[in-house]
Structure 1
Amino acid sequence: MTRHIRHAALFCVLLLAALLVNAARVQVLRADAYGADPANRRDTITRYQQPRGDILVAGRPVTGSRDTGEHLRYERTYRDGPLYAPVTGFASQEYGTTLLEHTEDGLLSGADPVLAPLPLWNEFTRSRNAGGKVMTTIDPAAQRAAYEGLRSRKGAVAAVEPSTGRVLALVSVPSYDPGLLSGNGRTAREAWARLNADPDRPMLNRAVQRTYPPGSTFKVVTAAAALDAGVVDDLDEPTDSPDPYTLPGTTTRLTNGARGCADASLREAFVQSCNTVFAKLGVTTGVARMRAMAHGFGFNDGDLRIPFRVARSTFDTTVDRSQLALSSIGQYNTRATPLQMAMVAAAVASGGQVREPYLVERTTRAGGGTVSAAGARPVRRAMHPATAMRMRELMRGVVEDGTGKKAAIPGTVVGGKTGTAQHGLGNSGTPYAWFISWAQREEDMEPRVAVAVVVEDAANRREISGGGTAAPIARAVMEAVLKP
């Protein structure tokens, strides 16, 4: 009898050892495979068992969480969803995350190990931290002024603080309500299908994800390159520029929309936005120096993140002389995001220095303890300070005496540059209206805001212009930032 008991005990020990080996195999060797199995919903259920942390604007949350009482318990909610969608993006149980909801997902969902009270604490306790908070740099007054300024027109606005790189406004119209995508039911699926089928692409963040021909706003880059290289020494000296100007190596004649451009000085050409002067100036400056200046401003940089990725703005470096002439007036293959052109204006405003823009000021734990802060940002010099001073003089002339008068603000120093960019086959599309600018109150030591506005459409081609369509929007944004 004792022998049978020993055999049974040995058999039980073997069974226990087999169970332990199998458990180890499942927990260690097969953990990744089981975790990635689409049928395994434990991580998903755990993820939505608690409220998501909030994204804040000026200290107030523009996001929230709603208790549905279902397996995926908490859904994301949004306050002023269309207004802040280009900042927050969406967090959807069905379609994932975008923009800040994506780049800060670990912190907002509570999954980031940095939120744990002790290293490896969550691995041992199987617990999950409360979601943290993301504090943005957005100025709510500037954001609303940009959104209401665009109204029903397609376009985008980006505004930054020149001295720091803080993003003050990021608006894209048409927009959408990200709350419609939060769940995983019929409502979310219908909204997803409708938004993706919309030809106006409301989920496209035009401020950072779309590039446009910058048109005459790029003349800021061309003028800076010519001044920095010594091609032009005197703003008021005639430039020996014909009108019309025949593109080098071709029979194509470039003309102007303004009069008095023949042999105009750089100051006159900038104020009147003479294509012929700047096309010739770009050719004289040369592709190497034009490329260096464009690169200094941020063109051709594919690594810019704020923290989500910004589309690469481009200045073609493989051009011949005729193509360089067109590139120098913001046409041909020259493309820019509104954020990039806001950086151009900011560089002029800050004495030639370019600061990388950023959107997140600080992240914190749910209880308020700081996780990370923006700190000092990398700085590079786009142009000499003396060049920046002369560019500020030229941009002030556009607002005071030229095509940008509608951006003028009483008691405020404003500099700007208009642009009307042709596009489409044979330039058949409605031109894009651009305006880039900076502003400071007379008592300020330095400019406090730089803005770029692009408007894609108008009732007809004759109604759209940088000075008439885009400049008033920029003025409203600058006023919102400068208001005491």
Structure 2
Amino acid sequence: MTRHIRHAGFFCALLLVALLVNAARVQVVQAPEYDRNPANRRPDITRYERPRGDILVGGRPVTGSKDTREHLRYERTYADGPLYAPVTGFASQLYGTTLLENAEDGVLSGSDPMLAPFPLWNDFTRARSSGGHVVTTLDPAAQRAAFKGLAGLKGAVAAVEPATGRILALVSAPSYDPQPLSGNGTAAARAWARLTADEDRPMLNRAARQTYPPGSTFKVVTAAAALDAGVVTDLDAPTDSPDPYTLPGTRTRLKNAARGCADASLRKAFTLSCNTVFAKLGVEVGLRDMTATAHAFGFNNADLAIPFPVARSTFDTTLDRAQLALSSIGQYNTRATPLQMAMVAAAVANGGQVREPYLVERTTRPGGSVLATAGSRGVRQAMYPSTAVRLRALMREVVEEGTGRRAAIRGAKVGGKTGTAQHGLGNSGMPYAWFVSWAQGARDLTPSVAVAVVVEDAEEERRDISGGGDAAPIARAVMEAVLKSRDRAPGS
């Protein structure tokens, strides 16, 4: 009898071991396969069983979570959705995540291992921590000023702090409300269909994910290259530039919108925005040095992320001399995001140094303790400090005496550069109006903000479209908002 009991016990032990081995096989070995199975809803149910962490602007959450009491329990909500959509993106139970919601999904959803007090235990139990929060660098006043300035227009604004690279505003118009996309019902599907069919592409982040020909705003880069290379040593010396200028190796004659560009000095050419002078300067600098300077400013960098990826701004490295002349005035294949052109203005304002831009100041645990901070960002020397000083003077003259007068701010030093970029087949498209600028408050030791604005569909007649008329007032409003925020800040 004892022998039979012993055999039965041994058999039961084998069954128990088999059950444990099978459970381990299912939960460990085959877990990834089950997780990928479309029929398995457990990962989604687990993902949405807790409120999602928030994205904060100026210390205030601009996102939230709504308890739906359904299987996918918590649904994303947005405060001032269209205002911050180019930053937050959306978090949808049907369509996934974009922009910050995507780049910081691990923190916001609670899946980041750093949020777990006992990571190994969470891996074993497959539990998920509560979502952390993402604190942005945005200045709420600057964001609202940019959004208001672009009301009814199509375009974008990017503003950065020159000394640090902190992004103060990132606006794209037209925008959209991410809220209707959050759920998983027919309303979300209808919203998705409407937004994706919209010819104005409201879900496109034009400030960071769309490139444009920068037009005359690129002359800041060309001027920097010419000064650094020693092609120009005296800002007031004639440049021996004909008007019109025949592109090298062709019969194509380049003309100017302004008068007085023939043999103009760099100072005068910059103020009047003379195409002929800068096209000739680009050729004299040469492809190698023009490419090196553009690269130092950030062009051709495919790895820029803020933390979501930024579209690559381009300066063609395989140009003949005629193409180089056009590229040096921001045409031909030269393309830039508004964020890139804000970096160009910021480099001038920051003594020639380019700080990598960033959008996240820090991430925190649900209770508020710091999880990670932005840390130091990469820095490059785009031009000699002496060149930056001279360019700051040139940009100030554009605002004080030239085409950028509408960007002037009482009591502040403001520098800028206007641009009108041709595009489309045979330049048939409505020109883009550009303005890049920086501003320094009366009590500031260095410039506090650099801004780039592009307007795709200016309201004037084609011949009247200009960066100074259409884009400069928007830049002015953003710069004023930042300077006023600095004045109100404690200890300022």
Segments of 5+ residues of structure 1 without an aligned counterpart are: none
Give the alignment of 1:64-463 within 5 angstroms.
64-459=64-459, 460-463=461-464
Query: CA offsets, 1:225-271, max 9 Å, x none?
Result: 00001000110100000000000000000000000000000011000
Q: Is the 8 A contact 2:406 2:472 kept in 1?
A: yes
Q: Is the 8 A contact 1:404 1:418 kept in 2?
A: yes
- Give the letter aligned to residue 480 of structure 1: A
- Give the letter aligned to residue 218 of structure 1: F
SS at match of 2:205: coil
SS at match of 1:184: coil
TM-score by length of 1: 0.98
Query: CA offsets, 1:349-372, max 9 Å, x none?
Result: 000000000000011001111001
Query: CA offsets, 1:144-198, max 9 Å, x none?
Result: 0000001010000000000110000000000000111000001100000100000
Change (3 A) 1:26 1:52: same
Give the C-alpha shift of residue 27 in structure 1.
2.0
Segments of 5+ residues of structure 2 without an aligned counterpart are: 488-492
> In the alignment, which residue of structure 2 is the partner of 1:475?
476
SS at match of 2:454: strand
TM-score by length of 2: 0.96
Give the C-alpha shift of residue 345 in structure 1.
0.1
Q: C-alpha distance in 1, partners of 2:101/2:3?
A: 66
Q: C-alpha distance in 1, partners of 2:191/2:326?
A: 42
Give the C-alpha shift of residue 325 in structure 1.
0.1
Give the C-alpha shift of residue 25 in structure 1.
1.8
- Give the letter aligned to residue 318 of structure 1: T
SS at match of 2:430: coil
Q: Is the 8 A contact 2:250 2:322 kept in 1?
A: yes
SS at match of 1:84: helix
SS at match of 1:323: helix
SS at match of 1:361: strand
- Give the letter aligned to residue 245 of structure 1: Y
Q: C-alpha distance in 1, partners of 2:74/2:141?
A: 30
SS at match of 1:46: helix
- Give the letter aligned to residue 263 of structure 2: D
Query: CA offsets, 1:259-296, max 9 Å, x none?
Result: 00000000110000000000000000101110111011
SS at match of 2:440: strand
Q: C-alpha distance in 2, partners of 1:110/1:99?
A: 17
Moved more, 457-466 or 330-339: 457-466
Q: Is the 8 A contact 1:457 1:464 kept in 2?
A: no
- Give the letter aligned to residue 200 of structure 2: D
- Give the letter aligned to residue 461 of structure 1: R
Q: C-alpha distance in 1, partners of 2:121/2:377?
A: 33
Give the C-alpha shift of residue 116 in structure 1.
1.1
Change (3 A) 1:8 1:143: same
SS at match of 2:450: strand
Q: C-alpha distance in 2, partners of 1:257/1:386?
A: 30
SS at match of 2:403: coil
Q: Is the 8 A contact 1:419 1:433 kept in 2?
A: yes
Q: C-alpha distance in 2, partners of 1:341/1:264?
A: 25
Query: CA offsets, 1:116-142, max 9 Å, x none?
Result: 113423224543211111100000000
Q: Is the 8 A contact 2:433 2:458 kept in 1?
A: no
Q: C-alpha distance in 1, partners of 2:126/2:28?
A: 16
